[in-house]
Amino acid sequence: MKRIFIIFGIIAVFSLCNTIHTVSAKQKVYVISVSGNVEPGMAAFLKRALDSADTPDPLFVLKLDTFGGRVDSALLITDTLLNVTKGKTIAFVTNKAISAGALIALACDELVMKRHTTIGDCAPITYSSDGPKMMGEKFQSPLRAKFRSLAKRNGYSPVLAESMVTEKMAVYEVKKDGLTVYMDAREFDELGDSEKVKITSKRTVVEEGELLTMDAAEALTLGFSKMTVADFDELLTKLDIPDYEIINIEETWSESLVRFITTIAPILMMIGLAALYTEIKSPGFGVPGIIGICFLGLVFFSQYLVGMADYTEMLLLISGIALLGIELFVLPGFGIAGFAGILLMTIGMILALQDFVWPDPAFPWQAELLTRNIVQVLGAALAAFILSMLTFRYLLPQLATVISGPYLGATLEDAHADSKEAQDVQVGDNGVALSFLRPSGKAEINGARSDVVTEAEFIEKGTLIIVSAIEGNHIIVSRKRIA
């Protein structure tokens, strides 16, 4: 009887071990959606998704549907895919993988395409007043090298891969010695007579002046795609995985929010800078200053989360704000500290929009990106200045009628001037501002100090002024225009 219990025990242990092995043998399939514009937020999300695997042999399936986007972000994603140390990556094109999307697809270990989908056309372009324009050889050369490297890694034709980038090459399909090879027109023309006689057929695959763009059937024929499937279920069936567990990795709400903030960063910068400028022109420190700091901080924090900004940019931004504070509350007027603060903030915001400090000649698009970021930040600053001027001119006067009183509704039209200061001053008298007029302050007129006020105008200390009106006890001045 005892032996029977021992035998049953051994059988139970083996059954349990077998069950545990079966459970642990499940293939984990991580499905990652890669759609929309390729930008830093997508690169940060993909890095997080690829690092989330908790199994030694994961299978990553990237569902691709994108027209492309920023070159630097696409290259960052490519490097992330190439550095995956465990498991396998499959690019599954569900609709289109154009431009930067094609680069991402070729960086995966395998390519699978859904029926009637497309891939290709990765020429670097820029936008001008005349519309999109293809960049020259300086930009195409490093991209061609990247495509060539990825093609050699995965067994694709390097020539065909390069033809996705540049339109100045024709590609032929040549059959000789029972083999099919792809070569560009220059390589074909350089073949010797002894080699040309071995050629049994020649077909033009890519015309000069065109970029290689393939549908699912063509990608399969040309050796890029491993298979064509109807849907994701058929993909899993053809991969012949007997037992699998699907894990969908989606963007978190915070990642989606960061990507959204990144797209509207110029608008946030404009509002933030306008609020800070309004604060500079207003007495004390209040709501505009808080709004400005919060909006600029929001832009910086979003760029920090996607890997563009770092502690250097943070230090520049904080130093700039500190110098502005010193200029406002410690030093009179607006001078070196104020301009230095604005300069540091501008540099910090520009650097926060990119992942490099100075363009590398090996990556010519970095110079293009730096130029775009400078224009973006300076454009936001100019728009902020205009917005703040409109705020002072139109919004603030109207705001007084919206906010409940009490107000003194009477005017000073019928008041008499019993102030000695006002009696000694006449309209048209000249003077100089002794303090910052925001809008009231001190001025020297006819050799005497007087309390003056401007008409919604801010005048700096030391500026020449002229008396434009006297209303009761109020001396109203304006900036003197020098012909």
| C-alpha distances out from residue 92 to 83, 101, 399, Å | 19, 11, 56
Provide CATH code, domain 2-130+224-250: 3.90.226.10
| Residues in a beta bridge with 119 | 97, 214
| Residues in a beta bridge with 52 | none
CA–CA distance, 271 with 251 (Å, rounded to integer)? 28
pLDDT at residue 83, rounded to an integer: 92
- Give the phi and the psi of residue 234 in degrees, each rounded to 5: -65, -35
Closest by CA position to 318, among listed 292, 293, 282: 293
Cβ atoms 376, 262 nearer than 8 A: no
pLDDT at residue 54, rounded to an integer: 84
Q: What is the percentage of the chain residues whose pLDDT exceeds 70?
A: 83
Place of tokens 């730096």: 370
CA–CA distance, 235 with 224 (Å, rounded to integer)? 16
CA–CA distance, 110 with 120 (Å, rounded to integer)? 15
User: What end-to-end distance do the CA atoms of the chain give, in Å?
Assistant: 120
CATH top class, domain 420-479: mainly beta
Instruction: Kindly tell me the burial class for residue 175, based on how many C-beta atoms sit within 10 Å of its own C-beta (0-12, 13-18, 19 or more).
Output: middle
* β-strands 171-176, 448-454 pairing: unpaired
In the 8-state DSSP scheme, what is residue 170?
Answer: -
**Over the stretch 71-130, which tens digit does the pLDDT of each residue have?**
888 999 999 999 998 889 999 999 999 999 999 999 999 999 999 999 998 888 776 666
pLDDT at residue 133, rounded to an integer: 67
CA–CA distance, 186 with 169 (Å, rounded to integer)? 8
The three-state (H, E, C) secondary structure of 238-269, written as one string: HCCCCCEEEEEECCCHHHHHHHHHHHCHHHHH
Q: What is the CA radius of gyration of the chain?
A: 34
| Residues in a beta bridge with 456 | none
CA–CA distance, 389 with 60 (Å, rounded to integer)? 53
Q: How many residues in the chain?
A: 483
407: left (phi over 0), alpha (psi -120 to 50) or beta: beta
- Give the phi and the psi of residue 427 in degrees, each rounded to 5: -60, 130
Regions of the chain short of the pLDDT cut 50: 5, 8, 13-14, 16-24, 407-410, 412, 414-417
Give the pair of three-digit tokens for residue 454.
């401007």
Beta strands in 318-413 (DSSP E): none
Q: Print burial letters for 244-260: b (CB count within 10 Å at least 16), e (below 16).
A: eeebebebeeebeebbe
Can you give the pTM of this predicted structure?
Answer: 0.71
The C-alpha angle 277, 282, 285, rounded to 5 degrees, equals: 90
Task: Calculate the dihedral angle through the C-alpha atoms of 9, 14, 15, 18, rounding to the nearest 10 degrees.
Answer: 160
Domain ranges of the chain: 2-130+224-250, 254-402, 420-479
Closest by CA position to 262, among listed 47, 40, 414, 431: 40
Cβ atoms 96, 66 nearer than 8 A: yes
| C-alpha distances out from residue 116 to 106, 141, 164, 215, Å | 18, 30, 19, 6
Place of tokens 């929009």: 353
CA–CA distance, 251 with 272 (Å, rounded to integer)? 28
pLDDT at residue 416, rounded to an integer: 47
Residue 399 CA from chain centroid, whole number: 36
- The H or E element spanning position 64 is strand 59-66
